[in-house]
Amino acid sequence: MPRAPFPELSSSVRLKYVKLGYQYLVNNFVAFLLIPVMIAVSLVLVRRGPDEIMALWHSLQLDLTQVLFSVFLFVFVAAVYFVSRPRPVYLVDYACFKPPTTCRVPFATFMEHAWLINWDEKSVQFQTRILERSGLGEETCLPPANHYIPPIPTMEASRAEAQLVIFSAIDDLLKKTGLRPKNIDILVVNCSLFSPTPSLSAMIINKYELRSNIRSFNLSGMGCSAGLISIDLARDLLQVHPSSNALVISTEIITPNLYTGNQRSMLLPNCLFRMGAAAILLSNRRRDARRAKYRLLHLVRTHKGADDRAYRCVYQEEDAEGHTGISLSKDLMVIAGKALKSNITTIGPLVLPMSEQLLFFLTLVGRKLINHKWKPYIPDFKMAFEHFCIHAGGRAVIDELQNNLQLTAEHVEASRMTLHRFGNTSSSSLWYELSYIESKGRMRRGHRVWQIGFGSGFKCNSAVWKCLRTVETLVDGPWTDCINRYPVDIPDVVKL
Partner 1 sequence: MDLLWTISTTLLLCSLLSILWKEFDRRRNRSCYLLDFVCYKPSDDRKLSSELCSDIIVRNKRLSVPDYKFLLKVVVNSGISEETYGPRSIIEGREECPTHDDCVDEVDDCMYRTLDELFLRTGISPIDVDVLVVNVSMFAPSPSLTSRIVNRYRMREDVKNFSLVGMGCSASPIAIDLVNNIFETRKRTLAVVVTSESIAPNWYCGTDKSMMLGNCLFRSGGCSFMLTNDPSLKHRAKMNLKCLVRAHIGANDDAYGCAIQKEDDEGRVGFHLSKSLPKAAVRAFAENLQRLAPKVLPMGELALYVLRGFRHRLWRSKEAKTDAATAARVNFKSGVDHFCLHTGGAAVIDAVGRALGLTNYDMEPARMTLHRWGNTSASSLWYVLGYMEAKKRLRRKDRVLMLSFGAGFKCNSCLWEVLRDLNDGGAWDDCIRAYPPQTLDNPFIEKFGWVKEA
Short-list 262, 256, 257, CA closest to 319: 262
The distance of closest approach from Cβ of residue 351 to partner 1 in the complex, given in angstroms and rounded to an integer, is: 17
Strands (E) in 333-476, as ranges, are 387-390, 448-455, 459-467
Q: Out of 113, 411, 420, 447, pick the active-site residue.
A: 420
Q: Of 282-290, 388-396, 435-443, 450-458, which part binds partner 1 (CB under 8 A)?
A: 450-458
Distance from C-alpha of 442 to C-alpha of 458, rounded to nearest angstrom: 32
Q: How many other CB atoms are found less than 10 A from the CB of residue 101? A: 9
Residue selected from 52, 112, 156, 472 as contacting partner 1 according to rule CB under 8 A: 156
Spell out the long-range contacts of 60-69 with Cβ–Cβ below 8 A and sequence spacing 24 or more: none
241 catalytic residue (yes or no): no
Between 429 and 435, whose beta carbon lies closer to partner 1? Answer: 429
Cβ-contact 218, 205 below 8 angstroms: no
The Cα 439–Cα 463 span in angstroms is 21
**HSE-CB for 268 with a 13 A CA cutoff:** 18
* Residue 221 interacting with partner 1 (CB under 8 A): yes
Query: At its nearest, how many Å lie between partner 1 and the CB of residue 452?
Result: 16
User: Please, what is the minimum distance in Å from the beta carbon of residue 427 to partner 1?
Assistant: 12
Examine residue 59 and tell whether it contacts partner 1 (CB under 8 A): no
Give the whole-angstrom CA distance, residue 333 versus residue 398: 10
Active-site annotation holds for 389: no
Q: Which of 387, 389, 404, 467 is catalytic?
A: 387
Per CB under 8 A, 329 contacts partner 1: no
Segment contacting partner 1 by CB under 8 A, of 66-74, 111-119, 360-368, 398-406: 66-74
Q: What's the CA gap between 302 and 346, in Å, rounded? A: 9
DSSP string spanning 403-426?
HHTT--TTTTHHHHHHHHHH-B-G
**Of 1-9, 96-104, 233-241, 412-420, which part binds partner 1 (CB under 8 A)?**
233-241
Least distance (Å) between residue 38 CB and partner 1: 26
Q: Which of 146, 262, 270, 302 binds partner 1 (CB under 8 A)?
A: 302
Q: Which of 28, 316, 403, 470 binds partner 1 (CB under 8 A)?
A: 316
Question: Nearest CA to 452 among 397, 390, 394, 395?
Answer: 390
Query: Closest Cα partner for 340 from 246, 249, 289, 407?
Result: 407
Catalytic site residue from 147, 241, 298, 303: 303
**Per-residue binder mask for partner 1 (CB under 8 A), 382-421, x = binder:** ----------------------------------------
Cis status, amide bond into 143, omega within 30 of 0:
no
| Least distance CB 289 / partner 1 (angstroms) | 20
Distances (CA, A) of 439 to 185, 427, 434, 435: 30, 20, 9, 6
Residue ranges in 281-300 that form contacts with partner 1 under rule CB under 8 A: none
Nearer to partner 1, 309 or 445 (CB): 309
d(CA 140, CA 270): 12
Active-site residue flag, 245: no
Which of these, 217, 208, 163, lies nearest to 190 by C-alpha position?
Answer: 217
- Applying CB under 8 A, which of residues 107, 115, 126, 315 lies at the interface with partner 1? 315
Q: Please, what is the minimum distance in Å from the beta carbon of residue 463 to partner 1?
A: 14
Q: Considering the candidates 424, 460, 461, 467, report the single residue annotated as catalytic.
A: 424
Asked if 237 interacts with partner 1 (CB under 8 A), we say yes
Q: What is the DSSP letter of 445?
A: T
Q: Number of residues in contact with partner 1, rule: CB under 8 A?
A: 72
Using rule CB under 8 A, residue 160 touches partner 1 = no
- Determine contact, residues 195/220, Cβ cutoff 8 Å: yes
- For residues 197-216, which are near partner 1 according to CB under 8 A? 197-203, 205-206, 208-216
Angle at 317 between CA 315 and CA 318, to 5 degrees: 155
Cβ atoms < 10 Å from Cβ of 314? 22
Report 70-109 residues binding partner 1 (CB under 8 A). Answer: 70, 73, 76-77, 80, 84
Q: For this structure, is 387 an active site residue? A: yes
- CB closer to partner 1, 23 vs 283: 283
Among the listed residues 113, 391, 411, 447, the single catalytic one is 391
Residue 314 in the binding site for partner 1 (CB under 8 A): yes
Nearer to partner 1 by Cβ, of 193 and 475: the residue is 193
Positions marked active-site: 224, 303, 387, 391, 420, 424
